[in-house]
Structure 1
């Protein structure tokens, strides 16, 4: 992981914090499945590096079937949970379109 990646990760964590404060995040198995299948135009799933392999494969499979972009982050579940002010969070979806655009610009 280079400095560019870690700087982008910090920016993404900041965006995630904004989304959490605005109640624009989705988490939990059923919440994420409903979000991925929803008719919302812009969607984005964020997956931490240390999520379980079954969960990761399940989420990625659903993202591919429904053509939803996802980003595999270098940070851990605990780092994401801390940024969101939550506990035991692994995979999250962002529902705010401007935050999604900001995160995707960092990854282009």
Structure 2
């Protein structure tokens, strides 16, 4: 990653790695919609910079309707996917409240 991405984003990506190892991530259109609508108290959605505009607008619209915080990253999808040990992932939600808290504190 080098200095290409901010220290803050590197920290967020490391939290994402912890979430992936703990199997506490949500992705996929239906998975994310269910997550956004769920009754879980703390939530956060992460959107890489090169996510398609239709997907990005759809996710942001749902986040605003259900008052879910979202973070638009400067990192591309490939960096997010690598941090998660997956391929071709564009938007991710986190289900672990401690990791969510860490991400939100880092982002403030």
Report which stretch shifted further, 59-68 or 5-14. 5-14
Q: What does the per-residue CA deviation read over 1:40-95, in whole Å, with 9 as the maximum and x for residues that have no partner? A: 00000000000000000000000000000000000000000000000010000000
1:69 aligns with 2:72: no
What is the aligned-residue RMSD (CA, Å)? 1.0
* Structure 2 residue aligned with 1:58: 58
Alignment partner, residue 104 of structure 2: 104
Aligned length: 105
TM superposition score normalised by structure 2: 0.95
In structure 2, the residue corresponding to 1:93 is in which secondary structure?
Answer: strand
Is 1:34 the counterpart of 2:34? The answer is yes
TM-score by length of 1: 0.95
Unaligned runs of 5+ in 2: none
